[in-house]
Structure 1
Amino acid sequence: MDLVTYGTESIVDIANYQLAAEKSIRLYFSKDNPEFTNIFTGYRISEVNAMLSDMMNETDIRSVLVLMAHMEATFRVDYKVRSQKKYSDPISIEFRKIWKRKKQRARLEEILNVWGNINPESKKIIGQLKSIFSFRHWLAHGRYWNIGNEYDFQTVYILTDAVLSNFSFYD
């Protein structure tokens, strides 16, 4: 089985982008920025620090969304491949049952449930994924209701790496 990859963007590429974005933002809000005085004249240092914090948080969230999109694509491509090939493993068999009814319209939760039901050792990771996908739903749909768990880039990166390292995906 081949690990699923998409284009040239890996989770390491996403992490490198996140790191570069963080460094750029920190430089922009630092006195090392040649335009610092022009940009922030009239602001108190506490206001500048608050803007820096807000921008860092927003950048973190955007990178979380990219990781989640990558992970969803991994599961969905694997679902499609397993549904259309004649693999005899239990996950492929269950995916073909769903495919007969729903084709590509299967919900991500259905796909994750198959993994959790067939591989009990993956239930904990699947539970964490469902929680993170709920967080993604909250982000993508306006952030206007109270959310239980919020996740940062590092937490989602670690989980994404665990999924990609421990699940056997087809591409």
Structure 2
Amino acid sequence: MSPQIDVSAKMQDIDFIQDYYLQSRLCLESRKNSVLAALGNNKNEDALVAIGLETVRFASPDELRIFFDDLISELENLVKLDLLSVTEGHIRYDFATRINNNNQDPITSTFITLLSNSRHGAGGVSFGQILSAWVDRYPGNTDLCNKVNTYKTILDLRNWLAHGRWWNLSSGLPVHTVEDIHQISNDVLQAMGLTQHFPRQSTPMSPPTTEG
């Protein structure tokens, strides 16, 4: 029997992260409008100071708009990384709990083999190996395979965001919005039969599959 893998189950629900993004963006948009109104034609100094900004930072309303657009862009990058890393957390948690529960299904058998071949325990099993296991184990489930493969296409973005964005992303990669990332992440979790809401079932569900 495989050794128990330590898990925390502290991953956030991706819908909560999406709600956090929407509310945060609304707050930034509202603040931008308040500052623009305070600037006006005569630069209402008192109104700006009251909301924590000074007119000397902005020579014009256009500079202020750029400032807030940059804030929103940074928020989007942070939320994209959060969505992608949390989705990985849910998939890795499922990997661990299937092994811990010794589930009797094809994907768990593959996971146990991956763990047995790893020199560094569960941490030595790459995320790519776990994703590929789903596709390799259930080639007849077209919906599952398509959604896993689609999710794989955004992992370059995840690596770029997680490692400081110090290199240029390939110009051929599509530009994904926060909504795109949320949808792709939700799709792959649902295709794997994973629930995001805790407490989880003691035995994770298996997707309806046709084993090839």
State the TM-score, normalizing by the size of structure 1: 0.85
- Corresponding position of 2:114: 98
What residue identity is the alignment partner of 1:163? V
**In the TM superposition, what whole-angstrom CA distance separates every residue of 1:72-125 from its partner, at most 9, and x where no partner exists?**
111111111122332221111100000112221210000000011122322222
Distance 1:37 1:10 in 2: 33
* 2:78 paired with 1:62: yes
Deviates more, 1:134-143 or 1:81-90: 81-90
- Corresponding position of 1:125: 147
Q: Mind listing any 5+ residue stretches in structure 1 that lack a counterpart?
A: 1-5
% same residue: 20
Q: For residues 168 and 52 of structure 1, do their structure 2 counterparts lie closer, same or farther at Cα, with a shift above 3 Å needed?
A: same
**In the TM superposition, what whole-angstrom CA distance separates every residue of 1:15-51 from its partner, at most 9, and x where no partner exists?**
1110111011112222357426953444212211111
- Corresponding position of 2:178: 153
What residue identity is the alignment partner of 1:126? V
- Corresponding position of 1:83: 99
Q: For residues 155 and 97 of structure 1, do their structure 2 counterparts lie closer, same or farther at Cα, with a shift above 3 Å needed?
A: same
- Corresponding position of 1:143: 165
Q: Secondary structure at the match of 2:117?
A: helix
Deviates more, 1:112-121 or 1:122-131: 122-131
Distance 2:149 2:55 in 1: 44
Q: Secondary structure at the match of 2:33?
A: coil
The structural deviation recorded for 1:8 is: 8.0
Q: Secondary structure at the match of 2:28?
A: helix
Distance 2:193 2:153 in 1: 21
Taking CA–CA contacts closer than 8 Å with sequence separation of 6 or more, which of the two structures ends up with the larger relative contact order?
1
How many residue pairs align between the two structures? 167
Distance 2:11 2:159 in 1: 26
Distance 1:156 1:51 in 2: 24
- Corresponding position of 2:135: 116
Runs (4+) of structure 1 moved beyond 4 Å?
Answer: none
Deviates more, 1:105-114 or 1:127-136: 127-136
Distance 2:80 2:159 in 1: 12
What residue identity is the alignment partner of 1:144? W
**In the TM superposition, what whole-angstrom CA distance separates every residue of 1:121-141 from its partner, at most 9, and x where no partner exists?**
222222222221211101111
Aligned CA RMSD, in angstroms, stands at 2.4
Deviates more, 1:69-78 or 1:31-40: 31-40
**In the TM superposition, what whole-angstrom CA distance separates every residue of 1:119-165 from its partner, at most 9, and x where no partner exists?**
23222222222221211101111212221334221001111221222
Q: Mind listing any 5+ residue stretches in structure 2 that lack a counterpart?
A: 1-8, 39-46, 195-203, 206-212
| Structure with greater helix share of residues | 1
Distance 1:71 1:8 in 2: 8
Q: For residues 101 and 29 of structure 1, do their structure 2 counterparts lie closer, same or farther at Cα, with a shift above 3 Å needed?
A: same
Deviates more, 1:9-18 or 1:66-75: 9-18
